[in-house]
């Protein structure tokens, strides 16, 4: 219960340490009519801010001492107070952090005090942080019941910019081998001065918990000087009264303050009371024992941090002490990614904390961009921060943190793919695009290979709709097979009937089928997996094709002279389109095939850039090679047409080339071929 002191003059009530009862829940009151009950209680409207009702009124005792900040110039104070932070609201976060530090220091000293330690007062008092807003007087007050400060500490900690009492405290107790210092947040000694972004004046009232310590009042308007004077009736702990500037009056609004507390300081271990109501209620479950966190807690926490209504699909609760101190929870959402998440402009959805204090709600440096679909929190006391705690430095430690988290997440997803193949298959359908982006954008060959373990493809050795991994493919390989073969096609049917697949099918080699447009580019970028080269069957055909024009001599094929004649004709007829014509023995059911250097890159070029080039320039860049099957009926018939119907031979030649380009996926718009097909049909049917 709060107590108040009011002087009784005319209609004003005089009371001392009387309990208060609130009877009106409305936000506004036009008439303030307190009532005294028979039991002595005072009824106050809800709209009255508690800052007008103080537990005790401090009494000025000593004379004021005016001092200058020990920092060299006022400019330094201006930089700290006005230029260091990007958002003014963070001053609340910083002051709460300082208050939390003060409570943690007191907790530590109260349980570890030795014979030589100073005696502490009121060790059984409630340890909490109280915030009070007063719109009328334009103030916000932050008060803690922590360790408090002596006059010397007040001068050292607040009189010298960039000197941190917390940092000194940690250094001191770590010399004694204590680990409890890890719960102390403040490290840099400038967070307090962030209040000058919003304040005309700051008042600090503090009394050390050391027995017999007097209270002191510290006052400054941020102009480079401060005053200290002794005061009576100061409770143990520290109270900071922020007198807000006119344009910062919104920070005296309890709804605004409540939202800021929930945003930055929701997981502080001590209770945070705002105008008598506790604001922080959700536990920082990433610090709890992994086995103690229930599925329901994960679901509730996921919804809180992701601001969504679905559930986590996969949950990684990860803790590590080496090579870095990491406490983290990473979630894969159950829902499908939205359009904004698909965009690379979307932020990574992981929040960064330092000892339960929010540093950045979307920390883009902690996970790579391709993992932006992951939600969660990462808490590490090893993170190197700049003085504002807002901008992460691109240091070796940050890189190491990102590497550790990424590798652990990838390992976790590989484990999930084995433990829950059905659930992983659903995940892959929804999120495979991010994995492929990771391979294309990652600069680390090791990371590329780890991501590649999560890729899935259909295979010529498995049934339709069944996907396999690169690792499983490798296990099924023959001992003498040095490559992993893949083929890009729009569908399984087209892949199985592709002329490029015929040769490997005859050799009984397994081929991975890539149906999605990015699969081929991903494997092209990956280059190898498990020490084995990834080879497109189209490039395999080009590599192993005969460099000579020796044809198979026999009754079912053309003779060498006929082959030479036909090749010379094709080169002449397709000049400007084909840059080489040769024979191949890898085809059975197809008359010819087109090969180009790096077929995947060529197809990507056709899809994205070829529309802006003329046909002549496209062929000049692609430099396609035509390979013919001299045993095929169409090729043999074409040779006869050279002497019987030159016009039809020309039309058949052009159509064969167009068909091969379509099969290779190198035609901008196949609808343009319909006219040529109709002309060919008319010519072929003239004699019937």
**pLDDT value, residue 304:** 86
- pLDDT tens digits for range 18-70: 333 333 333 344 444 455 555 554 444 444 333 333 455 677 776 788 887 76
- Which domains are assigned to the chain? 5-48 (no CATH), 60-278 (3.30.565.10), 285-425 (3.30.230.80), 455-542 (3.40.50.11260), 560-684 (1.20.120.790)
DSSP symbol at 82: I
Higher pLDDT, 466 or 123: 466
Residue showing tokens 């344009």? 247
β-pair partners for 458 = 467, 513
Burial string for 98-111 (b: 16+ CB within 10 Å, else e) reads bbbbbbbbbbbbbe
**pLDDT value, residue 46:** 41
**Strand 532-536 relative to strand 35-36, pairing:** unpaired
Query: Per-residue pLDDT for 72 more than 80?
Result: no
**pLDDT value, residue 324:** 84
**pLDDT value, residue 22:** 39
- pLDDT classification of 296: cutoffs 50, 70, 90: very high
**pLDDT value, residue 387:** 44
CB 546 within 8 A of CB 585: yes
Name every residue whose Cβ is closer than 8 Å to that of residue 321 and which is 6 or more positions away in sequence. Answer: none
**pLDDT value, residue 206:** 95
Query: Per-residue pLDDT for 14 more than 60?
Result: no
Q: Look at residues 457, 475, 474 and name the one whose alpha carbon lies nearest to residue 466.
A: 457
CB 525: neighbour CB atoms within 10 A? 16
- pLDDT tens digits for range 179-205: 555 555 555 456 788 888 899 999 999
- In whole angstroms, give the CA distance from residue 659 to residue 345: 40
- Give me the helices (H) in 593-632, please: 599-608, 615-622
**pLDDT value, residue 66:** 86
Higher pLDDT, 544 or 73: 544
β-pair partners for 241 = 141, 203
Question: Does the reported pTM lie above 0.85?
Answer: no
**pLDDT value, residue 364:** 78
- pLDDT tens digits for range 616-630: 888 888 899 999 999
Query: Per-residue pLDDT for 85 more than 60?
Result: yes
- pLDDT tens digits for range 372-411: 999 999 998 877 555 455 555 557 777 888 999 999 999 9
- pLDDT tens digits for range 246-292: 999 999 999 999 999 988 888 888 899 999 999 987 788 999 999 99
């Amino acid at each position: 219960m709060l107590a108040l002191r009011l002087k009784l003059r005319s209609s004003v009530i005089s009371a001392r340490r009387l309990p208060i009862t609130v009877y009106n829940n409305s936000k506004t009151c036009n008439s303030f009519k307190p009532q005294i009950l028979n039991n002595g209680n005072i009824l106050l409207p809800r709209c009255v801010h508690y800052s007008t009702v103080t537990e005790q009124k401090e009494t000025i005792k000593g004379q004021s001492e005016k001092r200058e900040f020990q920092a060299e110039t006022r400019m330094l104070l201006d930089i700290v107070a006005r230029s260091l932070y990007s958002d003014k609201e963070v001053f609340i976060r910083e002051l709460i952090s300082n208050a939390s530090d003060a409570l943690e220091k007191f907790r530590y000293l109260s349980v570890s005090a030795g014979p030589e330690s100073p005696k502490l007062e009121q060790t059984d008092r409630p340890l909490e942080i109280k915030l009070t807003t007063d719109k009328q007087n334009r103030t916000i007050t932050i008060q803690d019941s922590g360790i408090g400060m002596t006059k010397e500490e007040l001068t050292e900690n607040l009189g010298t910019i960039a000197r941190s009492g917390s940092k000194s405290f940690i250094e001191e107790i770590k010399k004694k081998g204590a680990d409890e210092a890890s719960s102390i947040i403040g490290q840099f000694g400038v967070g307090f001065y962030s209040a000058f972004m919003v304040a005309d004046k700051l008042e600090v009232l503090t009394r050390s918990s050391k027995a017999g310590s007097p209270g002191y009042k510290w006052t400054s308007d941020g102009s480079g000087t401060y005053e200290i004077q002794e005061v009576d009736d100061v409770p143990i702990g520290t109270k900071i009264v922020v007198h807000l500037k006119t344009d910062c009056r919104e920070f005296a609004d309890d709804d605004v303050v409540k939202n800021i507390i929930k945003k930055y300081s929701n997981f502080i271990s001590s209770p945070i009371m705002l105008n008598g109501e506790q604001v922080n209620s959700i536990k920082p479950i990433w610090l709890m024992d992994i086995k103690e966190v229930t599925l329901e807690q994960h679901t509730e926490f996921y919804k809180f941090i992701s601001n969504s209504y679905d559930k986590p699909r996969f949950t990684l609760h990860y803790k590590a002490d080496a090579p870095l101190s990491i406490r983290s929870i990473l979630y894969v959402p159950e829902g499908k990614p939205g359009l904004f998440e698909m965009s690379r402009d979307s932020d990574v959805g992981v929040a960064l904390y330092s000892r339960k204090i929010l540093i950045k709600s979307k920390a883009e440096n902690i996970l790579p961009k391709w993992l932006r679909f992951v939600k969660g929190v990462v808490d590490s006391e090893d993170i190197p921060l700049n003085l504002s705690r807002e901008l992460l430095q691109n240091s070796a430690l940050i890189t190491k943190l990102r590497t550790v988290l990424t590798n652990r997440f990838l390992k976790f997803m590989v484990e999930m793919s084995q433990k829950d193949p059905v659930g992983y298959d659903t995940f892959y359908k929804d999120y495979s695009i991010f994995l492929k982006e990771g391979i294309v954008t990652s600069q680390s060959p090791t990371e590329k290979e780890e991501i590649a373990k999560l890729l899935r493809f259909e295979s010529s050795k498995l049934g339709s709709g069944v996907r396999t991994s690169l690792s499983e493919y490798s296990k099924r390989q023959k001992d003498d097979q040095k490559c992993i073969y893949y083929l890009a096609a729009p569908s399984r049917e087209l892949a199985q009937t592709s002329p490029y697949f015929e040769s490997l099918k005859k050799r009984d080699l397994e081929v991975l089928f890539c149906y999605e447009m990015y699969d081929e580019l991903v494997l092209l970028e990956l280059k190898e997996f498990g020490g084995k080269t990834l080879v497109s069957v189209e490039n395999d055909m080009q590599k192993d094709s005969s460099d000579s024009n020796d044809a198979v001599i026999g009754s079912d094929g053309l003779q060498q002279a006929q082959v030479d004649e036909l090749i010379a004709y094709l080169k002449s007829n397709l000049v400007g389109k084909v840059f080489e014509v040769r024979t191949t023995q890898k085809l059975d059911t197809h008359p010819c095939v087109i090969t180009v250097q790096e077929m995947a890159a060529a197809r990507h070029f056709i899809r994205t850039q070829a529309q802006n080039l003329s046909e002549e320039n496209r062929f000049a860049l692609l430099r396609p090679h035509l390979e013919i099957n001299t045993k095929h009926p169409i090729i043999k018939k074409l040779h006869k047409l050279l002497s019987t119907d030159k016009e039809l031979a020309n039309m058949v030649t052009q159509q064969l080339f167009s068909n091969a380009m379509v099969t290779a996926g190198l035609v901008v718009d196949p609808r343009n071929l319909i006219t040529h097909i109709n002309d060919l049909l008319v010519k072929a049917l003239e004699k019937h």
